[in-house]
Amino acid sequence: MEDRDIIHLCIEVLDKIVLTGWENDIIDPIGQLIFPAKSEDIRISEQELKQLFIDQFKEKHKTLFYSIESPTRAKYNLGKNYEQINICNEINNIIGQAALIDMSILKKSKETKKYIRILNIEFKHQNAPLKDIGKDVLKLIHESEKGVFIFLLDNTNKGSLNNESLTRKGVLDKLKKSFDDFKEYWDGDKSVLLVIMSLKEKVLIHRSVSFHQIADFEKIFSINTNGYGNIRSVSENSGWKLEVID
The phi-psi region of residue 175 (left if phi > 0; otherwise alpha if psi is between -120 and 50; otherwise beta) is alpha
Check whether 160 has a pLDDT greater than 90.
no
In angstroms, how far is CA 91 from the centroid of its own chain?
30
Question: ∠ CA(177), CA(180), CA(183), 5° rounding?
Answer: 140
> Per-residue pLDDT averaged across 125-145, rounded?
94
pLDDT value of position 168: 64
Check whether 108 has a pLDDT greater than 90.
yes
Nearest to 241 by CA among 223, 218, 216, 219: 223
pLDDT value of position 154: 82
pLDDT value of position 48: 83
Confidence class of residue 39 from pLDDT cuts 50, 70 and 90? low
How many whole angstroms separate alpha carbon 126 and alpha carbon 103?
Answer: 19
**Helix, strand and coil percent figures for the chain, each rounded to 5:** 35, 30, 35
24-28, 46-50, 99-103, 175-179: which range is least confident on average? 24-28
pLDDT value of position 92: 60
pTM: 0.90
Per-residue pLDDT reduced to its tens digit, 195-210: 999 988 899 999 999 9
If one compares 191 and 214, the residue with the highest pLDDT of the two is 191
Per the document, the length of the chain is 246
The terminus-to-terminus CA distance of the chain in angstroms comes to 25
pLDDT value of position 200: 85
Helices 46-60 and 3-19: angle between axes, nearest 10 degrees: 120
pLDDT value of position 235: 84
Q: Work out the mean pLDDT of the chain and round it to a whole number.
A: 85
Domain ranges for the chain, please list them: 3-244
DSSP letters of 138-176? HHHHHSSSEEEEEEEES--SHHHH----SS---HHHHHH
Per-residue pLDDT reduced to its tens digit, 14-24: 988 877 656 66
Percent of the chain topping pLDDT 70: 83
Q: What is the identity of the amino acid at 104?
A: S
pLDDT value of position 145: 95
> Per-residue pLDDT averaged across 208-231, rounded?
79
